[in-house]
């Protein structure tokens, strides 16, 4: 039976073997470097991005758009979700709109936001915002609807009003659901930022990806994809630690 303590080592060895085979196939000429550059060429492209310092303005642009859309989407999604869950009229008005937005691939709104808001950071924040807000809305809406009814009845029986229910029952439930979906929300935020930059921008990782595609620079594309992956995984780790710390009471 495999020892779970060494799962990370087995994964690292498997990754190393894949990279070694990939590098060997590239050096042997079995792979076309125009489409599948070897890992060493991808690494050189990644090092070059940091060596000349040109990556930092693009990282700043993507982070600003993603985190701005994430923060705004969480706030608006929570407020609308709570209002819809507690007020039937609001639910009647909002739920169909959110269902439509949830049904369509929201990244196709990127060109529309560019037309409305221009190629600056505002259109990228808007796309990240809409992706996150819809997710958080349904997370909060479902979370409050699924609160244990017996717990609500006990609070009411003990004399608790609407404010007590919100403070002691609904808000803890909302916090658990939102933090439980924080990783997904982070992924959506960076997706929105990068897609918006890919469509139209002057800075950002998505803009660099578009540039690499237009110049058929596959090594740069792989390097940027790897960089985005590493950045998002680091934020996932931070979000997971935050989730565990804040939900200890749960």
User: Are 166 and 147 a contacting pair, CB within 8 Å?
Assistant: no
Question: Residue 17 falls within a domain, yes or no?
Answer: no
Question: Residue 22 falls within a domain, yes or no?
Answer: no
Rounded CA separation 174/101 (Å): 21
Range of the domain at 143: 58-246
Q: Tokens at residue 220, please?
A: 């740069």
Q: What is the CATH number of the domain that holds 108?
A: 1.10.3720.10
Rounded CA separation 65/59 (Å): 10
Q: What pLDDT digit, counting tens, does each position of 206-219 carry? A: 999 999 888 888 99
Q: What pLDDT digit, counting tens, does each position of 177-213 carry? A: 777 778 888 889 999 999 999 888 888 999 999 998 8
Total number of domains in the chain: 1
Question: Residue 224 falls within a domain, yes or no?
Answer: yes
Under DSSP, is residue 134 helix (H, G, I), strand (E, B) or coil?
A: helix
Q: What pLDDT digit, counting tens, does each position of 128-146 carry? A: 999 999 999 998 888 777 6
User: Are 147 and 173 a contacting pair, CB within 8 Å?
Assistant: yes
Q: What pLDDT digit, counting tens, does each position of 8-21 carry? A: 788 888 888 988 88
- pTM, two decimals, is 0.82
């Amino acid at each position: 039976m495999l020892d779970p303590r060494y799962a990370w080592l087995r994964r690292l060895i498997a990754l190393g073997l894949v990279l070694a085979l990939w590098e060997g196939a590239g050096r042997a000429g079995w792979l076309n470097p125009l489409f599948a550059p070897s890992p060493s060429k991808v690494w050189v492209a990644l090092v070059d991005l940091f060596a000349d310092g040109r990556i930092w303005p693009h990282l700043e642009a993507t982070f600003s758009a993603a985190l701005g859309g994430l923060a705004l989407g969480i706030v608006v999604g929570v407020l609308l979700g709570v209002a819809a869950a507690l007020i039937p009229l609001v639910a009647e008005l909002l739920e169909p709109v959110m269902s439509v937005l949830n049904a369509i691939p929201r990244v196709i709104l990127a060109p529309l936001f560019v037309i409305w808001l221009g190629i600056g950071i505002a259109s990228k924040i808007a796309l990240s915002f809409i992706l996150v807000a819809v997710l958080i809305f349904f997370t909060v809406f479902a979370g409050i609807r699924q609160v244990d009814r017996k717990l609500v009845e006990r609070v009411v029986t003990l004399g608790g009003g609407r404010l007590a229910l919100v403070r002691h029952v609904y808000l803890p439930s909302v916090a658990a659901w939102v933090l439980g979906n924080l990783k997904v929300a982070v992924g959506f935020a960076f997706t929105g930022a990068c897609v918006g930059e890919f469509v139209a921008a002057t800075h950002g990782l998505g803009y660099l990806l578009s540039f690499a595609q237009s110049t058929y620079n596959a090594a740069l594309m792989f390097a940027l994809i790897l960089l985005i992956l590493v950045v998002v995984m680091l934020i996932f780790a931070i979000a997971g630690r935050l989730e565990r710390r804040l939900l200890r009471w749960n």
